[in-house]
Amino acid sequence: MARLRRALRPLGHHWWQRPGESFTLAYATSLSHRLPLLYLIVVFDVVLLSLRFAGSAPLLHVLLGPTLGIYAVARGCYWLPARVARRPIEDQRLDIERMRRLGAISALLFVAWALSLYPYGDVSQRAMIHYLLAVTMFSGILGLAHSPQTALGIAAVFTIPSTLYFLAVGHPNVVYVSLVQLVVTAIVLMVTHGHHRDFVRLELSRQKLVRRERRAARLASAHYRQATVDSLTGGMNRRAILACLQAEMESAAKSRPWLALADLDGFKHVNDTYGHSAGDHVLRSVSDRIGEARGVIAHGRLGGDEFAILFDGALDARAVGAAARRLSAAIREPIGHNNATLRLCASIGLHRVRGESVSGSLERADAALYKAKTRGDGAIVLFGPDDEITLQHRIAITRQFNDCALDERLMLLYQPIHDLRDNRVIGVEAFARWSPDGVNWQAPGTFMAIAEATGRTGELTRLVLARALEEFRPWENGLDLSINLSPRDVHRDGVVEAITSIVHKAGASPSSIILEVTERALMDDPKRATIQLQAFRDQGFRIALDDFGAGWSSLSQLRDLPLDMIKLDRALAAALSDDPGARAVAGMIVALAWQLGIGCTIEGIESAAQVEAARSLGINLMQGYHFGRPEPAGIALIGLDRAVA
């Protein structure tokens, strides 16, 4: 066989079967549909020759034919497609390898038996042997196109012995018969070679297509996972949980589910204290605990530390409240991480999904969550009828704020800041008022959240500053002008340049402008806030920390912040006259500010007793209703002239 392979190598590599499981399976499948038919031809030829030579040839010679027929039937049954398909791939490979030998041996036995009958036949019987040998050989070669080496063996076994035998017995047309046989056999072999070449190419194309389909399936699976799975927790991401909510809402066979939004209280502390790896571990642990809670049919992370949870719609309000409390208790359980014990709780807002859209359901659950967070300590709030009225009002106001021209719906009021050392006004603070209808005016506490939600805080700050400079004109009256910056103003790129340009364009000096920031602005991103505030100071602005003492105030942070002034919160002012603890806190703040060279103002002064209490602590700069309410520019300026007089 090795010599035959070397001899036929110039004819091309398509004479040899390709290795590999895919080709083995393809060869076995193709041969299982061909070999049973080829063995059927052999059986038919054996039966014909046995019947034709019965009585002419010795009985022993004739009976050898049916023996070959039985063997052919057995081999044909062995190669039935159903039986081949059930065999392991390794058995199929061994069957293909054995077939190369068994095919040649079977062909040799058939040729030997047929030629053994040749001497006992007359002219017509011998012609039948010639014919059946040729038909069987050509059928075998063409039928074994997908096993070309076996086809070569069959061609050799049929052609060489029969040609030599006919030469030996002195057949009258032996030269012509042999020549025709050799030429036709060669042509049929070339046809077989072409069939196998095309088969190989087709199989390679099929395998390439399969690889592409598998690669496409892997990519589709990866894309699906990326689109639906939260990479951090392994649960649903925002898109997937909202799609699940949509499907639950559209299912007529199910009752509408409960939508809960859970926000982790204390998560920022975990991140800041123990690092982001601890925060990630907390999110994964919380996600697992939500998934294990009874009554939860689906959950996913919306982003950050906020989760959306779907509770079974079969639960009533009392049952879903109990389920939410169990979930809250589970989240409160300590979470271990790197020998540290992490503790936090979750505020939860609940809403029974009804006929609204997915976004509408989220709005209502978010409104309940917001109320829960204001209550603190992991509260649970169920969205109710009163909340619906509040929500609709807020939606209407938000639309009005978003659609209006701010400069046409904005009014400024000014409140004086007094220096009690010489009883004079040193400046004013500008307060913005916004009206949805030009009649009812709202304070910043009402519309600033809407401005942040609609992304108009920057526009609002620029309008307030420009109008305050135009109305108050500090360069003419020599007074300071205090303007409040929103938390986003403290972090947004380009704000320093924009505000500086407005001040210079109005003809004012940045040194006459005091920019007031809240502790919330510093808490969101202390490092970024510090850099931004220093940039303002470099331009000549003064910086005041507003509402100091109302929130998370840390006295040690006063040392690191670029501040010119702190403004004590009105809550401290209200308690100064009758609360020794409030006086002690205020006194400590004033002493530290004095040591750091930072000015100190107190706001919310409403009585003479509060004035005296503040002065006793060394506070001289004050503002509040005791000195004057916020007024429009014209009235405020007249009042300032009287105060100075």
Question: Please, which pLDDT band fits residue 1 given cuts at 50, 70 and 90?
Answer: very low
The tens digit of pLDDT for each residue in 507-555 reads 999 999 999 998 777 776 778 888 999 999 999 999 999 888 765 455 6
Global pTM value: 0.57
Specify the higher pLDDT residue, 453 or 371.
371
The tens digit of pLDDT for each residue in 118-131 reads 788 777 777 787 77
How many CB atoms are located within 10 Å of the residue 377 CB? Answer: 8
Question: Region 343-350: what's the mean pLDDT?
Answer: 91
Q: Give yes or no for residue 162 having a pLDDT over 80.
A: no
Beta strands 345-352 and 258-265 are antiparallel
Phi, psi dihedrals of residue 478, rounded to the nearest 5°: 70, 15
The tens digit of pLDDT for each residue in 313-344 reads 888 989 999 999 999 999 999 998 888 888 88
Cross-strand partners of 342: 335
Distance CA 402, CA 404 (A): 6
Q: Give yes or no for residue 502 having a pLDDT over 80.
A: yes
CB under 8 Å to 561, separation ≥6 — which residues?
522, 530, 533, 543, 545
Question: Region 277-297: what's the mean pLDDT?
Answer: 91
The tens digit of pLDDT for each residue in 238-253 reads 888 888 888 888 875 5
SS (H, E, C) 209-262: HHHHHHHHHHHHHHHHHHHHECCCCCCECHHHHHHHHHHHHHCCCCCCCEEEEE
* Domains, the chain, with CATH or none: 2-211 (no CATH), 238-383 (3.30.70.270), 405-644 (3.20.20.450)
Beta strands 480-484 and 513-518 are parallel
pLDDT at 94: 82
Q: Name the DSSP class of 642.
A: H
Specify the higher pLDDT residue, 103 or 336.
336
Question: Please, which pLDDT band fits residue 407 given cuts at 50, 70 and 90?
Answer: confident
pLDDT at 225: 66
pLDDT at 644: 44
Distance CA 237, CA 522 (A): 30
Instruction: Determine which helix (DSSP H) or strand (DSSP E) holds 306, and give its type and residue range.
Output: strand 306-311
